[in-house]
Amino acid sequence: MKPVAAQLPVEGELPSFGGATGWLNSQPLTPAGLRGKVALINIWTYTCINWLRQLPYVRAWAEKYKDRGLVVIGVHSPEFAFEKNVDNVRRAVADLKVDYPVAIDSDHAIWRAFNNEYWPALYFVDARGRIRHHQFGEGESGTGGVGQELVSVVARGLEAAADWGSLKSPEIYVGYGRTENFASPGGAALNTRRVYTAPAPLKLNHWALSGDWTVEEQAIVLNKADGRIAYCFHARDLNLVMGPAARGASVRFRVVIDRKPPGAAHGIDVDDRGNGRVAEQRLYQLIRQPKPIADRQFEIEFLDSGVEAYVFTFG
């Protein structure tokens, strides 16, 4: 018995990419130039853990079906100000082996043209330029189950699927514009230097600062060395988007989990003693712990000033 083809509705026409501020891996592409080919449009931003876990599937589709009429186009629509820097995007594209065309959407013009609201987003476009399906977010399988049977993927590092069964910590932004569960006594002093202290122990999914910090809308900025961020979490992985405040600078750090070096629970950006260095604006995997997964008290201490931190994510 032959499989029955899915009958997909027409959701709209592929909008223009004219709002792109640049392109990587390709000359500018147009809807007219894509007629006759099936297109997959992937809207992403390079520090998004949900996109990073989706990436191996998109990369595999692009490689397997590039000679069968499929064109994969990435649209990089930034979340944070530093993601508008095309040099940062270019470095991420190279490091993450994104070889297909990428439209730089620093002004969110393409994002708005799609009426998009999510990172990541997939839009499936037929050979007549009509959007026939979409998928928002990664779901529990990187692609929400869309197209997984078409490719074989072995994901490692940041790209490995989350341990959904033990994940009890949501992402937490640390800039005042979107933060919650901040536990340092007295709350946050917005856009003003202040010396903070952290209560111990923290409640699950609460976080706190110690040391001289400035809490800004998108990020927290360390003004003097030896500042700390503490977080009580429940997940296999703990990641933190961060970077040096000054381009070219490097900030040393040390992490502990339940007041001990992480040992076998260290992430890919940390050694077993908990030591690491922030030299780029990106997502850092700080903890990947073996089972059993339980509530853990995490702390990162920065040995130098001048770090900016943006959001904790988990997996």
- Report yes or no: 299 and 243 within 8 Å, Cβ to Cβ: no
In tens, the pLDDT along 164-214 reads 999 999 999 999 999 999 999 999 999 999 999 999 899 999 999 999 999
CATH of domain 12-159: 3.40.30.10
- Report yes or no: 229 and 172 within 8 Å, Cβ to Cβ: no
Mean pLDDT, range 148-170, rounded to an integer: 86
Tally the C-alpha atoms within 13 A of residue 222's C-alpha that lie toward its C-beta.
Answer: 27
**Distance separating alpha carbons of residues 294 and 272, to the nearest angstrom:** 19
Q: Where are the domains of the chain?
A: 12-159, 164-314
Do 164-314 and 12-159 fall under one CATH topology?
no
Tally of CB atoms within 10 A around 99 = 15
**Distance separating alpha carbons of residues 142 and 38, to the nearest angstrom:** 21
pTM listed for this prediction = 0.93
Backbone angles phi, psi at 28, to 5 degrees: -55, 135
CATH of domain 164-314: 2.60.120.260
In tens, the pLDDT along 5-30 reads 568 888 899 999 999 999 999 999 99
Note the pLDDT of residue 150.
65
Tally of CB atoms within 10 A around 287 = 26
